[in-house]
Structure formats: structure tokens, C-alpha cells
Structure 1
Amino acid sequence: MITDRSQRWRDRRASFVSDDSIIDPRRYAVDVIDHATARAFVADHHYLPRYPAAQVAVGLFGPGTGGCASLDGVIVFGVPATGAVITRHTGFADAARGCVLQRLLCLPSVAANGESFFTARAFRLLRHARPGIEAVVSFSDPGVGHCGCVYAALSGAYRGRTRARTVLRIAGETISERTLSKIRNLETGHAGAIDQLVRRGADRPLSGEHPRVWLDRLKAHGALTARRQSPLFTYCFELTRRARATGRRLPRLAYPRRSEVIAQHLFAAHRSDR
């Protein structure tokens, strides 16, 4: 079945790698990369091409042509939409002790088990680059067929599902609540957030128009559309002894069943076709 294979991305299109081939760690290297390189890779290949509010980006380098290494995967650790994402799922009172795994993708050229190999080493580099970060929260979207198999393979603590919520989308892409909050409340970075929507086809705010009114106008004219987002599966990786001790107070649930994920994915696909 398709769920017995590893999902990969190239040019924002999914493909699946047979588990018959297993990654050879001796042929790959993992290292921190600059955000410009990571941003370009995500934009070219990931189904969510927008680059998140990133803290650390890590690259997977494989054997390229002509004896040169090629960038075959990227992981981006970033800032959560709110501090509550960290405190709720890690148990830490200080949200700065955690971050979110915002993007994880490998190209089809990477053999099976590549994601778990890559992610485990990326966690080590994250701890070295940001020693204050002791836990990582990650989400998988069953609406697009993701159940978090990689996270389960790495023994991430499954915390359960998020609540279903309504999100705003433009040109088929979801706009994060953090981006919308910056615009509505004129927070630092709101100008860049407005530019983000304009690049995706929105008209610029009128002269003297408050950004909150501008967002309402975009919704009224159909440039911003509301969509009900299915609950996401939530995982937490406790990277230190203190994080593991803190996390004992939180639920560690049985991992989701693939059959459940397939059913939700088919349901989401059926709704999008209506």
C-alpha cells in the first residue's frame, strides 16, 4: 500500500519511495545552513512554500554529480504561532525553552529511513546552535495524508489532536494566525506581513486604510477565503533530561493508526472536490 512507503517532495509534488532501499548514513552529511538557501529549497519543493519564522535551518547533503555534494533535504526549526504551543505540549513555563519543527522534506533521491536519520542529527545541531532549546513540538496533517510516522519512529511523545479551526487562505495558501495578528494589531513586522499577502495577489491597503479594515475588505471581496482545517496530530520531542522529567506530567498517548489517517485524508479530499 502507498502508506508503506516514504513520502517525498520535488517541485511541490509528492512521490513515494519504496522501503526496499535503506539510507546509507556513510554517504550523507547533515549541517546547519543559511536561511536563504533553506528558503529557496522550501519554495521550490515543499507543498507549503512559504518560509516560516525560522530559528535554525539544517540541510541534508547527499552524493551529487561530479564528486560534489547536493542538497537533498531541509529541516527548519522555527517560532511557534504563540508561546502557548510550547508551554502546553512541553510542560515548560518558559516558551523560549522550545521551538516548532516547521518544515521537513527530503527529495525522492533519498532512500527510505532518510527522514528519521536526518531529523535525529538535526536535533543535535539544534541543541548545539540553540542550547536554550530543550524540546521541539511538531504537527502532522492527516488531511494531506501525514500521520507522523517519522516522529513515531523517533519516539516522539504523541500529545493528541489540536482543535479543528478556521483558517484564512489566499491563492491556495494558508496565512498563519501570527501573520494576521501582526497586521491587525500593527505589530513589529506588519509591513512585511502585508507584503506577503500582496505578493500572493492581494491589493495593497488604500491610503489611510487601517490594516484591520484592509483584511476585512479582502475577505469581503473573496481574496481571503475561510477554510475549516482538520485537527492536526501533535508530537513533542524532549531533547534533555530536564525536558523528559517535565514532560512526564503530560499525556503520552498511543500513536495514531494509519487507517484513521487514510480515512481522514480521503474525507478531506472529498470535501475539496465538492
Structure 2
Amino acid sequence: MESSELGGLVRSWRERMTPASAGLPEGGRRRAIGLRREELAALAGISPDYLTRLEQGRATSPSAQVVQSLARALRLSDAERDLLHRLAGHATPGLSVVPTRISASVQRLLDRLAHTPVAVYDATGTLLVANAPYNALMGDTTAWHGIARTALWRNLVGTGSRVVHTPEEQADLIAMQVADLRMTSSRYPTDRSLRRLIAQLKAESPLFVELWDSGAAPDQRELGRSKTILHPAVGPIDLDCDSLVVAQDDLRIMVYTAEPGTPDAEKLALAIVLGTQTLSDVLAND
């Protein structure tokens, strides 16, 4: 297939998406139809320049990893994802690849929770999508690219998150995430992206190597549903964090809520207002 057909499809799929469907604030006036190139590039973890060249048919050989990231960011159906892979000259993922697609039913659930902080992770702990309230609470996740979107990497190597943990809680969390990743690896042993993730974690974190080689099984103990989020504008917020598993799609949905009528509920509402206003201002000035 000609590269122009691949680029044209990517552009048409980008233009049919709305900021809300991608977990982004609408912002002010928008000249672009659908998502801006910069927005899709950020969601897919690629450069806007590369996306421009791809849509214009000047980038002709996107890697399977880039194609998979674009399929995830564009919310493609299984058939559309497979078509994108074939046009790029790659084999279709099949059942041996960690699922990253947000199904229509899960998207409807996210739409119903549009005013609640919600994030969706795949089985590797990699962030697939976060809505605007989540970004307002936890920081702008569209600035996370590549491996930085994986929670385990952020906890081991990166800057962590706004969730407050004692050293013991942090150690338990990391050990659980490593054990979960090992279980995921056993379910998808031929997933090349997963193998690359594990290799990169081994290269960058001696603690990961130690925990991985220990062979410990996931600890089924509750780490605690109550989380304290240290927000830079409103201070600490005590919230309930519930993790919902979508077994058929092997996804994890994290939802943060506060008991209505409490000071924490008021602080959460303020954090969301402040954060969504800030993101809207940034997008309006783009």
C-alpha cells in the first residue's frame, strides 16, 4: 500500500476524535477539526514533526511500536488497528499482544465519569488514557511519553506521583507492581513491546532486577484504598482509590473519589477547577 493511504487514514481518524474522547479539555476556539496533531502526538508518545511527515506520506516505515501507540491513542477498533498494522507493513498483533484498546463500553463508562478523576492502564501498568479531572489532580499526563507512561518506571526511576507514601508503602507498591508485571509477562510471552519494557527496566533499575529475579508472586494484601494526594495548589487531599478490572480487555480503571460534603470533597472540586482551567488556557494559546 502507498504511504499516502496510511497517512490519510491516520489523519481521518485524528479528525474524527474529540478532545473529550481523548481525555483532554476542550479549550477555547479550535481551528483544527478533531484533535490537533500536537495532541495526538503527545498521546502516542511521538514527535509532532514525525506525525506530520507520517500524515503527509513522507514517513514511510513507522515501527510496530509507533503503530501500536497510534492505534491506542486513536481509539481504533480491532479491525482498524489491524488495518493500520498491515498498511505499515507489520503483522497484526493478535491475542499474544497486551491489549491497549479502549472498547466502546469502557469509553461509555469513562464518559459517565467525566467529572471524576479516572485513568485507564493496560496490564503492564502503562497509562492508556486519563481524563481532564485526573490530569488536574495528578498533573498533565499528556506530557508523559514512552516508558514514562508506565507506573512502575515512574516509581522506580522517574519522579513518582503526587500520591504520598511512607517508605514501607512505597516498597510494597513497587514489589507488587514488579510481581504483577511478571504475571503479565507470563500471559503475553511473545509481546515484543513488553520484552523491551522489561529489558529497559532491568537496564535502569538494580532494584527491579533484584525483585524480578526473586520470583515473588503478587501479594494479594490490600495496600489501602485511601490515598493522600499532595496537590501543589490545594495541599493534601484524602481520597478513596478504587481499581476496577476489565477482565475481557485486561484493563485497569482507577477512580478517585471523596465522600460528599467533606473538606476533601471541596478540595478535590477546587483542584479539578484549577487544573482544567490551566489546561484550557494552555490549549487556547496554542
TM-score (norm 2): 0.26
More helix by share: 2
More strand by share: 1
TM-score (norm 1): 0.27
